[in-house]
């Protein structure tokens, strides 16, 4: 018996009725190309097939990039919405105590951070102790502490937003929560002429939540709004 086996009549009719479905099926096309290469023999190089494989690989890479760009856009949009909601909640406070209470409560929940701390510098110990009584979210440090904390003692020049990972948090900043802090976002605050600087620290148990590779534009915007709110309460 010689000759090639014939297609089943029903399969042949289905292919003839919808040939585009065969072309659109990647697995079927791979099988057809492989069968064609086997029929040509091992001493023939199919340059067209090689070109098709390279184009297919390039298309796969483009599709992966496309998916990554879309995912990043959705993530950025979600982050923008979070910061906007936090800013609106920040502006709703009617007094400084409720401002601090919201900062350590609902605002931290909106931003999905595990710890929120506001650090203010003061050269008057009595004033510092009085401020700390307003809530656990607030801590007071000696002048120069924030710059040293942000730069590791390497001198002035701290950025407005510092993102970093750590083995454990600093108790002077995070208090009892320091032991499980693994990454943080530190926002340096300019509280106005004649005032010592402040710092807003967001701590996270996840070591990958805040890393130096992440963008800081949204946090810079939040820091700007927070600075203006603090100046209003301190005036």
Q: Which tens digit of pLDDT belongs to each residue from 150-159? A: 988 776 777 8
Position 225 confidence tier, pLDDT thresholds 50, 70, 90: very high
Q: Give me the pLDDT at residue 66, please.
A: 73
- The string of pLDDT tens digits covering residues 65-106 is 777 777 666 666 777 888 899 999 988 888 888 888 888 889
70: how many CB neighbours lie within 10 A of its CB?
10
Return the C-alpha torsion angle 138, 95, 143, 177, nearest 10: 10
Q: Per mean pLDDT, which range of 1-5, 7-11, 85-89 is the poorest?
A: 1-5
Domains of the chain: 93-234 (3.30.450.40)
Q: pTM of the full predicted structure?
A: 0.67
Rounded CA gap, 91 and 229, in Å?
7
């Amino acid at each position: 018996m010689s000759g090639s086996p014939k297609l089943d009549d029903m399969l042949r009719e289905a292919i003839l009725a919808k040939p585009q479905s065969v072309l659109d099926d990647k697995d079927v096309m791979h099988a057809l190309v492989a069968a064609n290469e086997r029929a040509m023999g091992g001493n023939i190089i199919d340059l067209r097939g090689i070109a098709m494989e390279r184009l297919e690989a390039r298309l796969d890479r483009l599709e992966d990039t496309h998916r990554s760009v879309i995912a990043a856009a959705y993530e950025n949009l979600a982050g923008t919405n979070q910061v906007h909601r936090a800013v609106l909640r920040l502006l709703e406070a009617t007094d400084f105590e409720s401002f601090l209470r919201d900062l350590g409560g609902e605002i931290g929940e909106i931003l999905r951070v595990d710890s929120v701390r506001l650090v203010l510098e003061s050269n008057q110990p009595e004033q510092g102790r009085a401020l700390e009584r307003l809530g656990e979210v607030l801590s007071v440090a000696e002048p120069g502490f924030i710059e040293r904390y942000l730069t590791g003692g390497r001198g002035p020049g701290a950025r407005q937003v510092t993102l970093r990972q750590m083995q454990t948090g600093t108790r002077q900043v995070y208090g009892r929560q320091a032991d499980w802090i693994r990454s943080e976002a530190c926002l340096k605050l300019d509280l106005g002429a004649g005032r010592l600087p402040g710092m807003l620290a967001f701590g996270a148990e996840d070591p990958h939540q805040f890393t130096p590779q992440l963008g800081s534009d949204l946090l810079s915007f939040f820091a700007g709004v927070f600075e203006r709110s603090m100046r209003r309460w301190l005036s």
